[in-house]
Amino acid sequence: MAESSDKVLQVELVAADRLVWSGQATMVIARTTEGDVGILPNHAPLLSSIIEGVVDVQTAEGETWIAAVDAGFLSVADNRVSILAERAEMSHEIDLEKARQDLERAKASGENDDAAQEAVRRAEARIRAVERAS
């Protein structure tokens, strides 16, 4: 297995209640607490917290999959990338209208509140994911 997976990453994007996406990829981009990080094959083992944002997965066939995720984790070891988030959605599953409404609501509910800001970031991430995908 180690030989065949030298050039690709085995990616699993997992939400708390389901496996959202899994497959092989050449590059994964995610947003950690420290900033965006790009993972290429043979990346050093890494365990990092990620924040609400967009995850970009480029497959070996040149396709790009985009997903919106909540706060969670990214772990890389032996060319296996797992992205864990309590909620995660692929861009084509997101209802753009609903995301926009959520954003409006979250913005209206107050800027200072931590929970509200989290909701704003989450809604923005979902909108960004859809816009990037189209």
Partner 1 sequence: MALSVREYRARIRSTESMKKITRAMELIAASRIIKAQQRAQAAAPYARELTRAVSAVATFSNVDHALTLEPEDPKKAAVLIITSDRGLAGAYSSSVIKEAERLVEKLKGEGKDVDLYTSGRKGEAYFKFRQRAVVQAWTGFSDQPTYDVAAEIGATLIEAFLAETGDEGHAVDEVHVVYTRFRSMLSQEPTAVRLLPLEVVEGTEAPDKADLLPLYEFEPSPSEVLDSLLPRYVQSRIFFALLQAAASELAARQKAMKSATDNADELIKKYKRIANQARQAGITQEISEIVGGVNALADAQAGSE
Instruction: Identify which of residues 40 and 47 has a Cβ nearer to partner 1 in the complex.
Output: 47
Place of tokens 């692929």: 90
- 13: β partners: 21, 83
CB of 131 to partner 1, least distance (A): 27
Please, what is the minimum distance in Å from the beta carbon of residue 103 to partner 1? 20
Q: Is 6 in the site for partner 1 (CB under 8 A)?
A: no
Question: Minimal distance in Å, beta carbon 62 to partner 1?
Answer: 26
Candidates 38, 60, 63, 77: give the one binding partner 1 (CB under 8 A).
77
Helix axes 96-108, 114-133, angle to 10 degrees: 150
- Name all contacts of 29-36 with Cβ < 8 Å and 24+ positions apart: 29/55, 29/56, 29/57, 30/55, 30/56, 30/69, 30/74, 30/83, 31/55, 32/74
Nearest of 72, 41, 36 to residue 59 by alpha carbon: 41
- 49 touches partner 1 by CB under 8 A: yes
Binding segment toward partner 1, per CB under 8 A, in 31-39, 52-60, 98-106, 126-134:
31-39
Judged by beta carbon, residue 41 or residue 133, the one nearer partner 1 is: 41
**Shortest spacing between CB 33 and partner 1, in angstroms:** 6
